[in-house]
Structure 1
């Protein structure tokens, strides 16, 4: 049964749509883009943030500007003994922050990488209360402009889809940024399903749904169906590791299968049992990503 708030929103959008489906669609997009609150929701999240604090404190904070705002990045230096360290761009998912990636940050650094993290707009240490995929792509562009090229891009959930879209040059006024390798963890393979699902929850009429999806084109210069990360990964032919759990309840495993079918450049690693959120802290996952990142160096050493 729908909550009282959802029922109120449905009625409000229905009333606006009587006079202007366009206005109702724009309002639906604003609601769609609002980010969750940043405070930990329970004792488990508070404990996770407390445990992450010593790791996050080791990062050098950097403010990155992009058209529309700024985001907080952190640079975690590679170990001194690491020769030819890989530079990794690591990004979190919707409703999360870099703090929740502390175990992966620590694991990748110990593995011999320099790690740069981003807090998306409306998340973590970055300002704002909204986030869109075009804004995420612009934040990624800001990271590339400031730090230079990245050897590997690693993204969880929304972050993974954003990295793929940034690599594909989907936002028409932002140049594409293609790392030498790509790692997508629990990531959606395209965005249409999310918009259709949101429209279904709010029971948007067809004209309002069209207007809702049309906002994407006004923001990015591309239609919604162009934000197909699996198709982009296949066209780029960059070595890509897909990490997903079949028990993921937020991003269905079918998205991982779409990636896996995109081309011979894609490797699939099933991290079953770790769901959607625990997957980024799981030791086997971090080990698998490290092996993927450093595969050439390990072959050369052998």
Structure 2
């Protein structure tokens, strides 16, 4: 029933946006971007936090008009930053954190804009990267691990901010091209060419981003530090070919293909592989 309701909603919404794009293009543009950028899942309630987050030292950090949630599990002087993806939150690392604790790392995780306990309704990579930069400057992490859009944001961050304290990166199940994300979104809502142009114009006017040039593979090509890139062949959310694009461009990355893990990529073998990569000389 939920799939049927979702199908009906997307078709009705898409038809509405298509229609008003000829009557009121500004409104159509705002609506198209709104439903592209506003997550519908991933929020948390302060009084119902997952147990793994209750174990951490938690604090709220203010940045301009935004407030974001930060969690720290204290360990040794080796620090690792965990960056979650779309419609998720810091608790997505629950299965991975025990492996990092075993290695003794100090673990830092944050809730992205409009996720977990962080403020806002809109998610975008440049804003997420600005949050990450505050955390990186404060904690000087040695390692960064990102999943899905968190992985894409990690690529964007290190490509644009080039922070020298980060010595190794791990990117899991990340999309590469904004143009592909937009294409999938347009297909889902069956948006017409007029709305497509309005969306591209919004990214250009608001973020100075040309969708065809906003690419994880392009970002990765500028990163020189050692990296582990992993993608699952059975990923139904982000195509395996997206991971291949990034791997082809990222000369300093080792590409690991997994099977049967889907998009979440929770796996004992993979987590052990990541830990071995991080501690290797």
TM-score where L is the length of structure 2: 0.89
Query: Structure 1 residues 101, 224: closer, same or farther in 2, change over 3 A?
Result: same
Q: What corresponds to 1:33 in structure 2?
A: 37
Q: 1:220 aligns with which of 207, 213, 230?
A: 207
Contact 1:29 1:212 in 2 (8 A): yes
Residue aligned with 1:74, SS: strand
Q: Does 1:256 align with 2:243?
A: yes
Distance 1:63 1:226 in 2: 34
Structure 1 residues 251 and 38: alpha-carbon distance in aligned structure 2, compared to 1, 3 A threshold: closer
**Distance in 1 between residues matched to 2:36 and 2:56, nearest whole Å:** 32
Partner of 2:172: 185
Q: 2:165 matched to 1:162?
A: no
Q: Which runs of 5+ in 1 are unaligned?
A: 41-48, 170-174, 297-302
Contact 1:73 1:116 in 2 (8 A): yes
Please show how residues 109-124 of structure 1 align to structure 2 within 5 Å: 109-124=101-116
Deviation at 1:65, TM superposition (A): 2.4
Q: Deviations over 1:30-89 (max 9, x none)?
A: 11111123479xxxxxxxx98x51x322211122222441110111111xxx5xx42111
Aligned counterpart, 1:89 = 81
1:72, 1:118 within 8 Å by CA — same for their partners in 2?
A: yes
Instruction: Quote the offset at 1:101 in angstroms.
Output: 0.9
Query: Any conservation in 1 of the 2:217–2:245 contact (CA below 8 Å)?
Result: yes
Aligned partners of 2:43 and 2:114 also within 8 Å: no
The structure-2 alpha-carbon separation of the partners of 1:263 and 1:160, relative to structure 1 and needing over 3 Å to count, comes to: closer
For residue 221 of structure 2, give the secondary structure of its aligned residue in structure 1.
helix
- For normalisation by structure 1, the TM-score amounts to 0.83
SS in 2 for 1:236: coil
Q: How large is the RMSD of aligned CA atoms in angstroms?
A: 2.2
Distance 1:151 1:131, change over 3 A: same
1:291 aligned residue:
276
**Residues 43, 115 of structure 2: 8 Å contact kept:** no
Instruction: Please give the alpha-carbon distance, in whole angstroms, between the structure 2 residues aligned to 1:25 and 1:291.
Output: 46
Q: Do structure 1's residue 57 and structure 2's residue 54 form an aligned pair?
A: yes
Partners in 1 of 2:144 and 2:210 — Cα distance? 25
1:108-148 deviations in whole A, cap 9, x for unaligned? 1211321110111221121333212222112112212332x
Aligned equivalent of 1:15: 19
On the 8 A contact 1:165/1:227 being kept in 2, the answer is no
Indicate if the aligned counterparts of 1:161 and 1:190 stay in contact, CA closer than 8 A. Answer: no
Q: 3-state DSSP class of the match of 2:118?
A: coil
1:284 deviation in Å? 1.0
d(CA) in 1 for partners of 2:213, 2:138: 27
Contact 2:60 2:70 in 1 (8 A): yes
Where does 1:131-280 land on structure 2 (aligned, <5 Å)? Answer: 131-147=123-139, 149-169=140-160, 175-177=161-163, 179-277=166-264, 279=265
Secondary structure at the counterpart of residue 258 of structure 1 = helix
